[in-house]
Chain A
Amino acid sequence: MKLIAKKAILPLIAFGLALFVGGLVIGFTDSRVLSKIGSPISFLKIFASTVGNAYLALFQGAIYDPNLVEGHSFLTGFYPLSQTVVNAAPLMLCGLSVAIAFKAGLFNIGAQGQFIFGAIGASYVGFHYELPIFLHVVVAITAAIILSALWGGFVGLLKAKTGAHEVIVTIMLNYIAANFLLWILGTSTFLRPGRLDPLAPPVKDTARLPRLFGDNYSVNVGIFISIVVAFLFWLLLNRSTWGFKTRAVGANSSAARTAGISVQRITIGTMLIAGGLSGLAGAIHVLGFQYELTSDTAGSFGFDAITVALLGRGGPVGVVLASLLFAGLRVGGTTMQANVQVPVEIVLVIQALVVLFIAAPGLITRYIKIKNLESGQEMASKGWNG
């Protein structure tokens, strides 16, 4: 417990600081606030109320909104939390995908492309085949994992056999995946009958992930799958020979090679798993939330995942919490704009600030002494020439 608290203190301070700076941005970019700049008292008053209400709306949009209750059970107010959790699940899996590559000293920028292939696989099985209720989900998810694992494993193969840098390769493969998706949505197999725009048919009811609390809340079993996967991630890395080897390669691949570990095999294996994890995310998004494949299905999950993995410091618990935080910010941002007209883009500023303070721990530790702070020396990734 103490260990977790120690690990959490830096991210928490970073988040607090990000909210503080974000608050300044909200205040100083609001025309209503700036119009009062002449009189200090009313300026401060409106500044505080603008920022306070923006963050209140952010909270209401991400966790609990009493305005939704009105005549219903108080539980109705948890609708935003359900949205947060639904969005967190794919982010979590993509984050784990990036994190597992970190452990082997690899930088997986390709979660976006792997997500796309997972989404394609899940969508195709979901709308094309007629299968019994439980089996359909399993087959769709399996198809997604296989497709995306191959897509990710291909990168590992290139890296292992030819030394092609995985950063370049994954970035380029993201473009190929995105354009492949656009193309395949235009083919007669994926085009929804009667439509001309890139939109696949909806996945059949039997392939949809069951919802946990009835039709009004979109939260589904996807979150359980994600958390179980996060646990397996920990088990694999810390309680298996393969995980030990992976960490050894990540720490120092030359030493690992000298010790008789096949770096090539670990590289390929890690990228296979990384691909599969992102693909599972795509499947959960399509089968659990969107129910149809569109050209922008992947949103920015694959890219946000890099941030999530960094913020979570590459560990499963960290990634789970970081993805919940990011999903909450994103979902809450909509309410912030709808309720108090503070642009949802502010959320991106806050997210970026969190990363800035995390990635540069010196910024914080230089000014704030934290007792027993676990030093930021444990590198999440070895970067470019690792």
Chain B
Amino acid sequence: MKNTFRVVAALAAATLIVGVTTMPAATAAVKTKACLALDTGGVDDKSFNASSWAGAVKVKSSSISVEYLPAASSADFAGNIKKFVDNKCTIIIGVGFAISGAIITSAKANPGISYAVVDDGAYDCNADYSVCNPVANVKGLTFATQEAAFLAGYVAAGYSKTGIVATYGGAPYPTVTCFMSGYKQGVDYFNTVKKKSVKVLGWDGKNGEFIGDFGNTTKALATSKAFEQAGADVIMPVAGGLAAQTAQNSMTSKKSVTIWVDTDGYVSANQYKSVLLTSVMKGLGEAVGSVITDVSKGKFTNTSYVGTLANKGTKIATYHDLAKKVPSKIQNEVRAIAADIVSGKIKVKP
């Protein structure tokens, strides 16, 4: 047995050494090396990490290579970005506003590399955030999701039989509250136009219902049930993966429908398709993809990208299976309102 072990050990060691020395030649010259420094949650978070990475993979080509590094905690951000700098990435994309500070620090030290941050304007601010300036080589990718959420709010109000609709958020981050704010404004607009009084639970224009994090499934389920008991028959959860709890609850209780956010839930969470009224979509992947192609064409600028209804950076999904339950009048009005938001006739605040 002892000899067998020695032989195996020697073989393994020899294999490794041979392996390293016969290292394959570097792959054909890649012009653009796009590197994504992800937020915590992993590449398969079914949320913004996953969408951003999918967007990058889509533009991968013979001249564009893409890679990512996951973060176990926020302490990893700076190290991951430095790794990308050492590995000579052409563009480094930080995913999530939490990584913004680390990206800006690295960008100022490496003016030759292009950077982008998903979900943050990526401004260089002083200690108390009273003065903020853009950085020459950093592009912020943000989304005016309130515009699409406004439409969703209008649809919800038009669909509701009880006259009560609801929303809740994962945590009170601006990237979450803008959904809730737009949703409420959409309902309010419906009330003004139709002289109705549909109520919104979970957001009063300033404060609202928050789970506290994006992982507490128990509280998400309890919140959804509480909304139903209060009479709400449309719920829009803005809490990443927790939306599944609300949709699942809608399926079992049959008392409400769910509005999905970030992606088209009909595609990304197809098992809930029977209760999905619509989805407020955020074009993370497209934004990431387009900034990478810009870099590869030498057209990178630090001008912030803002996804709007106008540039289709945010939109609502079709009603899919529930199309018959949304009055066609409402569907037409939503199209008209969308045009008004694009033209600036209707202004939606974040």
B-side interface residues, number (CB < 8 Å): 45
What's the Cα separation between A16 and B8 when bound, in Å?
Answer: 11
Name A344's closest neighbour in chain B (CB-CB): B70
CA of A289 to CA of B98 in the docked complex: distance in angstroms? 17
Binds B, one of A256-264, A305-313, A319-327, A335-343: A335-343
CB closest residue in chain B, given A343: B70
Q: Are B129 and A48 in contact (CB under 8 A)?
A: no
Contact (A294, B23) CB under 8 Å given A196-B173, A196-B174, A337-B69 = no
Q: How far is the CB of B44 from chain A (nearest CB, A)?
A: 11
B71-98 near A? 1/0 per residue, CB < 8 Å: 0111110011001101100000000011
Do B73 and A335 touch (CB < 8 A)? no
Interface segment, B12-20, B135-143, B292-300, B310-318? B12-20
B22 in contact with A48 (CB, 8 Å): yes
Q: When the two chains form their complex, are residues A196 and B1 in contact, meaning their CB atoms are under 8 A apart?
A: no
Taking a contact as CB atoms under 8 Å apart, the answer to whether B40 and A296 are in contact is yes
Please name all residues of chain A whose beta carbon is closer than 8 Å to the beta carbon of B16 when the two chains form the complex.
Answer: 23, 48, 51-52, 55
> Which residues of chain A are near B72, meaning CB under 8 Å?
299-300, 330
List the B side residues contacting A296 at CB < 8 Å: 40, 73-75
User: Given A51-B16, A52-B17, is A334 in contact with B128 using a C-beta cutoff of 8 Å?
Assistant: no
Closest CB in chain B relative to A84 CB, distance in Å = 11
A83 adjacent to chain B (CB < 8 Å) = yes
Residue on A with the closest CB to B98? Answer: A197
- A48-B16, A53-B19, A289-B75 known; A338-B84 Cβ under 8 A: yes
* Complex Cα–Cα for A56 and B127 (A): 41
Name the residue of chain A whose CB is nearest to the CB of B43.
A343
Check B19 against A49 for contact (C-beta < 8 Å): yes
Selected contact of B212 from candidates A182, A285, A290, A338, CB within 8 Å: A182
B67 at the interface (CB under 8 A from A): yes
**CA separation between A50 and B9, bound complex, in Å?**
18
- Is A194 an interface residue when CB atoms closer than 8 A count as contact? yes
* Partner-A contacts on B (CB < 8 A): 1-2, 4-5, 8-9, 12, 15-20, 22-24, 35, 40, 67, 69-70, 72-76, 79-80, 83-84, 86-87, 97-98, 125, 127-130, 171-174, 212-213
CB pairs A–B below 8 angstroms (20 shown): A16-B9, A45-B22, A46-B24, A49-B22, A49-B24, A50-B19, A52-B19, A67-B86, A194-B129, A194-B130, A198-B171, A201-B127, A285-B75, A295-B213, A296-B40, A296-B73, A297-B74, A338-B67, A367-B5, A369-B2
